[in-house]
A and B are shown apart, each in its own frame.
Chain A
Amino acid sequence: MKIYVSGLYSGGNPQPGVGITRSLRQGYPDATLVGVEYSNRSSGIHWPQLDEVWLQRPWDELNLSAHGDAIRALLDGGALWISGSDLESMWLASVFPEGHANLLTPNAAALARITKPQVEAHEGLPVQIPPYIPTDRSDWDLHAFCRKHDWRVWLKGPYYDAVRTRSWDSFEAVRNALAKVWNTERLFLQSHVTGYEESVMLCAYEGELLGCVRMRKREITEEGKTWAGDVSEVDEAFLTPLRRIIHELNWTGGGELEMVRDADGKLWLLEMNPRFPAWVHGATIAGVNLPALLVEGATGVAAQRPEPGRGEFTRVVVEVPVRSEFPLPPLPEHLGGGAGHSLKHPSGLPALAERLHKLNVLDGGDNESSSGGDAPTVPNTMVEDLLAQDFNRIETPAWVFMESTAVDTFKRAAAMAHTLSTNQTRVTNAYSIKTNPDARLIKLALDSGFMAEGISLLELHKALKVGFRPDQLILNGPGKWWPEGMIPKEQIHAVFCDSAPDLKKTVAALKSGELKAKIVGVRIRTPHIPSRFGIALDTPETFKSLVESIATLPEDTGFGVHFHMASSNIGVKAWWRLFDSMLRWCQSLERLTGRTIEVLDIGGGWFPDDWHNVDHSDFAKAVKRAQAALPNVGQIISEPGKAMAQPTMALAMRVLETQEEDGEITEAVVDASIAELPMYFHYPHRVLTQDRGGDWKTLKRGKSQLMGRLCMEHDVVAANIELPEGTRAGDVLVFCDAGGYDRSMSYVFGRG
């Protein structure tokens, strides 16, 4: 008996070839085992239990049809083939569309039905698929997915690779890298599931499930790979549907379902692999040898049974001698002074992926139809606002005030506050002035029933100038008493202290009569949240001193509690959880200080779409929870800044120059820059341009880079955008969603 085993890479993220070899050797001591590899850098070729090594050139150098013919000859000659690589299995399925009795890999139809992330074939198994979104959606939608899932997301490649991306700039960087390696835009973002990882490994021949085991990971490497595990039987509730699915797929070969079990015991399926996992020999040690069982199923030749084991296995690092016929190749030269290290895919799997795209065995590659994905949508008011401008007369770069969008935004916020208010508790908006101190926005806030929230006395004075009354002002932040001597003479609505010294200072100012405020409160920082603001509650000592200092607040002012954490950063679900966490701390404070909380200020920090699309019932329920926890709360203040301001201004710019390659614009220089778009790295901006017919269209992702006018390396205002054909110097581009911190934190640079 002669068995070919491929996938001998044996680094930190190993392929299963060595494990399959060890298991086959246990089951068939006399079989001839031939290791197949596509790189002499894959250390598994030196595994001593291999009788022979069939070393091929890396995938980019191989003649695929000759290689296919050679394998057919081997199989026809009676040899068996077990593949240890997903891509090789996919390629083999295309070479042998009818299968081959000696080819122990799944057929093409079965492979199509286990494609990540949906893994269609999972239907019927007691598992769920974690939420995901394909990256051919617009950046705007992808960013929304990340916020929705609290930035606990993985960006995954179509075959291999998964990277946690915790922010927009890291997402963009990883997307570029993965798309380049695998030559496809077909990546996907998937929500993280917290839990313990476990797998089910199986083997089947022509649709008959021959055996399977469950393995729980007990030690995990930094890359998330198994280092130790325990092996047990698959329970009936899983086994019954699995048997049916394997039958329906007419599965042949090894396979693995990778899952996470959450704290409630629910299973989430991450992927189904068309091959044995690298830990396959761990199960053999535990008494279940699936590679041997597969060969037995295919040939009818009985395998020697392994000794029943204790059910637990671990890995160790083992040195083996190098085969004399395959001496080690030299280590490649350090590239550009970098650290020299081994290659991640020595056999050239990315090259194989690219060739399979070209052969249409796999989707993707250069022939992808819509690589730019969907174009984002914008509200009608934005288009109306742009149509109202005469861009021929606008000198660029220029901020465009989107008036009807602004009016609509404030109107919606006012309506929401009105709807959420109850007899017991008023919900009030307070416009965060710093987010964009443009007087038009402050006036809109005033006219929409907002209060005004400032972080300096200068901001309060600006609000007063626009027409706010003192009793509509809220003072916040760590530097709120700056500049000296500007505390309003009249009573303001509320002051929230940011630290213990701030609280002392405020109490003194109240006592001396320098400050008059209806409500005085504290900003708290709940544990587990990285922030420099507010009074920390993460040690029992700070909590105790907070409790004690609240007792020093004058009895004749009302008491309030404030927190602020940007949901745009931590995510929407995490923000609501924080809201409840704050309620919990407020209850403790009421109980321990004897002071009742009259005002709850929940800060700002929402991304506009999250704020305006927030489920009113979610919010209404939160108001109810607040009332239940703190029966004396008469007012809940929210302080939206960017949720109001961001959509209300756009940045218009002109193209200064374009560069083309093969008739496509690869780079364009514009007269704007990151000095006007400092938030470029934090969230996507929707970009519009007017077509020759005068319609405004949003631009999709594409292959052009928009470079700012500054002589700065990182001044790239769009890294991957599709410019309309015929774009030339003088054309106007409009970056929407620039009315928040882009506007207020823009700086003067490169203007002489």
Chain B
Amino acid sequence: MYLAEVETRAVQATEVPEVTSCTAKWDSWPASTISHHGQACCEIAREWMLANDFSQLGDAAALTGPRWLPKKYPWGPSPWPMHWCEAVGRKKLDCGAHQAISQELFTARGVQSRPAQFVQQFSEDATRHWGHKWGEDQVPAGWIDGDVIYHEGCAVTVDGDEVKLWDASAGWWIDPQQSGGYGALLNVRIFDPSAEAPQSLSWGGRQLAVNRWNAV
């Protein structure tokens, strides 16, 4: 910044990409959740996830993303519905599973987290390969639409109504400074079914309405 000049730099209006059809396609998709058999099989699996997260976190702050999860279970096609005892035995997990498990990990740490759905821009080249990969495993790839994808993550409360968005599969926090392009976040929907749900949450200086799609 040039301090001598009171330079009111024109905020460049970044083009908002066409996304209307995409969000419509995934409008009825709920955020993923892991099922429980109500028996020891799932209880042991779930305890292992939670206790392991405690050990992996070490002395790091509770707001540190659980990157160990996608490191142990890399991102890949997963059949649904999925139970805890099945999830821990898989070699790969998709973003729905990463999201649903991370959600529980944050909650166990005493950190509030809400499921979030993302629409992201990639390229036809990228989605074609993903389509093949999912096809090989005979898992439907309804999350792909042209060069745009549906993805899941966690909206983690930092303070009050301020959240950070955790991409539980990539193992990073999504940068609120978005300017379009490959990998860009186009739309986001944060779920909060509770009665005390706030109207909106603040993410990197912008307001995101809760329980409906927001264009980024």
> With A232-B177, A263-B64, A588-B47 given, is the CB distance from A573 to B55 under 8 Å?
no
Inter-subunit contact A234/B1 (CB<8 Å): yes
> With A234-B1, A263-B64 given, is the CB distance from A588 to B59 under 8 Å?
no
Inter-subunit contact A212/B56 (CB<8 Å): no
B44 / chain A contacts, CB cutoff of 8 Å? 540, 543-544, 547, 592
Inter-subunit contact B55/A584 (CB<8 Å): yes
- Asked whether any CB of chain A lies closer than 8 Å to the CB of B110, the reply is no
> With A540-B44, A543-B44, A592-B40 given, is the CB distance from A213 to B1 under 8 Å?
yes
Inter-subunit contact B59/A577 (CB<8 Å): yes
A233 / chain B contacts, CB cutoff of 8 Å? 1
- Min CB–CB distance B197 → chain A (angstroms): 25
Give the interface centre of B2, B60, B64 by most chain A CB atoms within 10 Å.
Answer: B2
Inter-subunit contact A211/B55 (CB<8 Å): no
Give the interface centre of A288, A538, A588 by most chain B CB atoms within 10 Å.
Answer: A588
For this complex, into which size category does the number of interface residues on chain B fall? 20 to 34
- Min CB–CB distance A561 → chain B (angstroms): 13
- Asked whether any CB of chain B lies closer than 8 Å to the CB of A310, the reply is yes
Q: How far is the CA of A210 from the CA of B4 in the complex (A)?
A: 6
Inter-subunit contact B179/A310 (CB<8 Å): yes
Q: Mark B50-77, 1 if CB is under 8 A from A, else 0.
A: 1110111011110110000000000000
- Min CB–CB distance A54 → chain B (angstroms): 30
- Asked whether any CB of chain A lies closer than 8 Å to the CB of B3, the reply is yes
Inter-subunit contact B1/A581 (CB<8 Å): no
Inter-subunit contact A577/B3 (CB<8 Å): no
Q: How far is the CA of A543 from the CA of B89 in the complex (A)?
A: 12
Among residues of B, the one whose C-beta sits closest to the C-beta of A538 is B52
A573 in complex: contacting residue of B3, B9, B59, B177, CB < 8 Å: B59
Q: How far is the CA of A146 from the CA of B39 in the complex (A)?
A: 46
- Asked whether any CB of chain B lies closer than 8 Å to the CB of A591, the reply is yes
- Min CB–CB distance B72 → chain A (angstroms): 9
A243 / chain B contacts, CB cutoff of 8 Å? 3
Q: How far is the CA of A585 from the CA of B54 in the complex (A)?
A: 9
Q: Within residues 130 to 163 of chain B, which ones have a CB less than 8 A from any CB in chain A? A: 158
Among residues of A, the one whose C-beta sits closest to the C-beta of B159 is A265
B3 in complex: contacting residue of A209, A308, A580, A581, CB < 8 Å: A209
Q: How far is the CA of A209 from the CA of B56 in the complex (A)?
A: 44
> With A210-B4, A213-B1 given, is the CB distance from A543 to B48 under 8 Å?
yes
Q: How far is the CA of A150 from the CA of B58 in the complex (A)?
A: 12
**Residue count of chain A within 8 Å CB distance of chain B:** 43
- Secondary structure of the A side of the interface? mixed
> With A528-B55, A584-B54, A584-B55 given, is the CB distance from A263 to B3 under 8 Å?
no
Q: How far is the CA of A543 from the CA of B64 in the complex (A)?
A: 25
- Asked whether any CB of chain B lies closer than 8 Å to the CB of A135, the reply is no
Q: How far is the CA of A528 from the CA of B47 in the complex (A)?
A: 17
B49 / chain A contacts, CB cutoff of 8 Å? 540
Q: How far is the CA of A588 from the CA of B40 in the complex (A)?
A: 12
- Asked whether any CB of chain A lies closer than 8 Å to the CB of B34, the reply is no
A287 / chain B contacts, CB cutoff of 8 Å? 9
Q: Mark A533-561, 1 if CB is under 8 A from B, else 0.
A: 00001101001100100000000000000
B43 / chain A contacts, CB cutoff of 8 Å? 591-592
> With A540-B48, A588-B51 given, is the CB distance from A528 to B177 under 8 Å?
no
- Asked whether any CB of chain B lies closer than 8 Å to the CB of A12, the reply is no
Inter-subunit contact B60/A537 (CB<8 Å): no
Q: Mark A110-121, 1 if CB is under 8 A from B, else 0.
A: 000000000000
> With A538-B52, A585-B51 given, is the CB distance from A574 to B2 under 8 Å?
no
Inter-subunit contact B3/A211 (CB<8 Å): yes
Inter-subunit contact A211/B54 (CB<8 Å): no
- Min CB–CB distance A416 → chain B (angstroms): 24
- Asked whether any CB of chain A lies closer than 8 Å to the CB of B45, the reply is yes
A615 / chain B contacts, CB cutoff of 8 Å? none
Inter-subunit contact B63/A528 (CB<8 Å): no
Inter-subunit contact A528/B179 (CB<8 Å): no
B55 in complex: contacting residue of A210, A526, A544, CB < 8 Å: A526
Q: Within residues 154 to 197 of chain A, which ones have a CB less than 8 A from any CB in chain B? A: 194
- Min CB–CB distance B3 → chain A (angstroms): 5
Inter-subunit contact A264/B9 (CB<8 Å): no
Inter-subunit contact A210/B63 (CB<8 Å): no
Q: How far is the CA of A574 from the CA of B59 in the complex (A)?
A: 7
Q: How far is the CA of A540 from the CA of B43 in the complex (A)?
A: 11
Give the interface centre of B45, B52, B88 by most chain A CB atoms within 10 Å.
Answer: B52
> With A209-B3, A588-B51, A592-B40 given, is the CB distance from A527 to B56 under 8 Å?
yes
- Min CB–CB distance A220 → chain B (angstroms): 14
A212 / chain B contacts, CB cutoff of 8 Å? 1, 3
Q: How far is the CA of A587 from the CA of B54 in the complex (A)?
A: 12
B9 / chain A contacts, CB cutoff of 8 Å? 287, 308
Q: Within residues 579 to 598 of chain A, which ones have a CB less than 8 A from any CB in chain B? A: 580-581, 584-585, 587-588, 591-592
B177 in complex: contacting residue of A230, A527, A543, A580, CB < 8 Å: A230
- Asked whether any CB of chain B lies closer than 8 Å to the CB of A311, the reply is yes
Q: How far is the CA of A161 from the CA of B215 in the complex (A)?
A: 46
Among residues of B, the one whose C-beta sits closest to the C-beta of A544 is B44
B51 in complex: contacting residue of A264, A573, A584, CB < 8 Å: A584
Q: How far is the CA of A308 from the CA of B1 in the complex (A)?
A: 11
B61 / chain A contacts, CB cutoff of 8 Å? 262-264
Q: How far is the CA of A233 from the CA of B3 in the complex (A)?
A: 11
- Min CB–CB distance B66 → chain A (angstroms): 12
Inter-subunit contact B47/A581 (CB<8 Å): no
Inter-subunit contact B58/A574 (CB<8 Å): yes
A503 / chain B contacts, CB cutoff of 8 Å? none
Among residues of A, the one whose C-beta sits closest to the C-beta of B41 is A544
B45 in complex: contacting residue of A540, A585, A591, CB < 8 Å: A540
- Asked whether any CB of chain B lies closer than 8 Å to the CB of A293, the reply is yes
Inter-subunit contact B177/A288 (CB<8 Å): no
Inter-subunit contact A211/B51 (CB<8 Å): no
Q: How far is the CA of A293 from the CA of B3 in the complex (A)?
A: 10
Inter-subunit contact B177/A592 (CB<8 Å): no
- Min CB–CB distance B11 → chain A (angstroms): 10
B47 / chain A contacts, CB cutoff of 8 Å? 543, 588, 591-592
Q: How far is the CA of A310 from the CA of B9 in the complex (A)?
A: 13
Give the interface centre of A213, A311, A547 by most chain B CB atoms within 10 Å.
Answer: A547
A308 / chain B contacts, CB cutoff of 8 Å? 9, 12
Give the interface centre of A209, A213, A528, A529 by most chain B CB atoms within 10 Å.
Answer: A528
A293 / chain B contacts, CB cutoff of 8 Å? 2
A311 / chain B contacts, CB cutoff of 8 Å? 177, 179
Among residues of B, the one whose C-beta sits closest to the C-beta of A296 is B4
A310 / chain B contacts, CB cutoff of 8 Å? 179
Inter-subunit contact A263/B60 (CB<8 Å): yes
Q: Mark A697-727, 1 if CB is under 8 A from B, else 0.
A: 0000000000000000000000000000000
Q: Mark A566-582, 1 if CB is under 8 A from B, else 0.
A: 00000001100100110
A262 / chain B contacts, CB cutoff of 8 Å? 61
Q: How far is the CA of A540 from the CA of B69 in the complex (A)?
A: 13
Q: How far is the CA of A528 from the CA of B66 in the complex (A)?
A: 13
Q: How far is the CA of A315 from the CA of B108 in the complex (A)?
A: 41
- Min CB–CB distance A26 → chain B (angstroms): 14
Inter-subunit contact A540/B89 (CB<8 Å): yes
B52 in complex: contacting residue of A194, A527, A529, CB < 8 Å: A527
Inter-subunit contact B51/A537 (CB<8 Å): yes
Q: How far is the CA of A584 from the CA of B63 in the complex (A)?
A: 19
- Min CB–CB distance A706 → chain B (angstroms): 38
Q: Mark A657-682, 1 if CB is under 8 A from B, else 0.
A: 00000000000000000000000000
B3 / chain A contacts, CB cutoff of 8 Å? 209-212, 243
For the complex with contacts A527-B55, A584-B51, 19 further pairs of A-B residues with Cβ separation under 8 Å are A210-B3, A212-B3, A264-B61, A265-B158, A288-B2, A311-B177, A528-B55, A537-B51, A537-B52, A540-B44, A540-B45, A540-B88, A540-B89, A543-B47, A544-B45, A544-B48, A577-B59, A588-B51, A592-B47
Closest 4 CB pairs of A and B: A263-B61, A540-B88, A588-B47, A584-B54
14 sampled A-B residue pairs with Cβ under 8 A: A211-B2, A230-B177, A262-B61, A263-B63, A265-B158, A287-B9, A311-B177, A528-B55, A540-B48, A544-B44, A544-B45, A584-B54, A592-B43, A592-B44
